[in-house]
Amino acid sequence: MSQTEMPTGRTRVVREPHRGVYDRETANRILDGGIICHVGFVAEGQPYVIPTSYGRNGNNLYIHGSVASRMLRQLKESVPVCVTVTLLDGLVLARSVFNHSMNYRSVVVLGKASLVEDGREKLEALRAIAEHIIPGRWDDARQPNERELKQTSVLKLPIEEFSAKVRIGPPIDDEEDYSFPTWAGVLPLELRAGSPIDDERLVAGQTAPGYVRKYARAQ
Ligand SMILES: Cc1cc2nc3c(=O)[nH]c(=O)nc-3n(C[C@H](O)[C@H](O)[C@H](O)COP(=O)(O)OP(=O)(O)OC[C@H]3O[C@@H](n4cnc5c(N)ncnc54)[C@H](O)[C@@H]3O)c2cc1C
């Protein structure tokens, strides 16, 4: 069910406020369409923004990595974190340089992450991350063993304080520029999978499954 959340003072979109979207369904669609997020946090006074994979399960975002990872070690200490996901949909070419833009959908989530300690939730989170990246893969691959689970930290960030921002449509030029003689419009961009490349050490008879051959991101 669609649910409109109230932006907080920190998540209210300031520039082009009409592009701010605060409903959970829109935010979830964008989160589900992305593959990587950027995780921002401050460690010893230094801001870091680290790209990483993620998954969503309900109203939580999950990220995972080595127990030795600084990012995961920092975040499990409940430091404030900002996670951003961006989908680039097109280049918007206006008549004036000033009014060039991009069509995009993005989400910013603020909050504090916590370490997932419950074994069942950890496994579900790892499944959510794997299935987020390539649906169908989890059941086809060998499941994580005890040693691998011990070496992996999983963090959970509630999607509570969030905003989405969406730009769609043609360029918006100043009225007097519409007579300027140059091409203007939108160059759509999309992430597309290439042809699968077989690993050299495949067990005989293995071929790329449908979820690989027909890989596409949710829009
Ligand atoms: C597409 C993608 C998906 C990834 N998925 C995961 C994931 O699921 N889990 C995971 O743990 N890691 C993932 N990574 C790697 C992640 O970006 C970090 O490199 C990793 O978490 C390293 O953590 P660390 O604590 O060892 O390094 P840190 O101690 O955090 O890094 C030390 C320094 O190395 C440099 N550095 C670290 N990472 C990068 C980077 N990606 N690019 C450029 N410089 C860097 C920075 O200068 C940083 O200050 C992914 C990276 C990419 C690009």
Q: Which domain holds residue 24?
A: 17-174+185-213
Residue 7 covered by a domain: no
pLDDT of 2: 40
pLDDT of 4: 55
Residue 166 covered by a domain: yes
pLDDT band at 74 (very low <50, low <70, confident <90, very high): confident
Question: What is the rounded CA–CA span in Å between residue 132 and residue 81?
Answer: 21
The domain that holds 143 is classified in CATH as 2.30.110.10
Residue 2 covered by a domain: no
**Alpha carbon of 150 to ligand 1 centroid (Å):** 19
**Alpha carbon of 183 to ligand 1 centroid (Å):** 40
Whether 132 is in the pocket of ligand 1, judged by its Cβ within 6 Å, is no
Question: What is the rounded CA–CA span in Å between residue 33 and residue 30?
Answer: 5
Ligand 1, atom 20: nearest CA belongs to which residue? Answer: 69
Residue 141 covered by a domain: yes
Global pTM reads: 0.91
Q: Which of ligand 1's atoms lies nearest the C-alpha of 69?
A: 25
Which residues face 52 on adjacent strands? Answer: 37
Residue 124 covered by a domain: yes
The residue among 206 and 70 whose pLDDT is bigger is 206
Residue 79 covered by a domain: yes
- Structural domain total, the chain: 1
Whether 34 is in the pocket of ligand 1, judged by its Cβ within 6 Å, is no
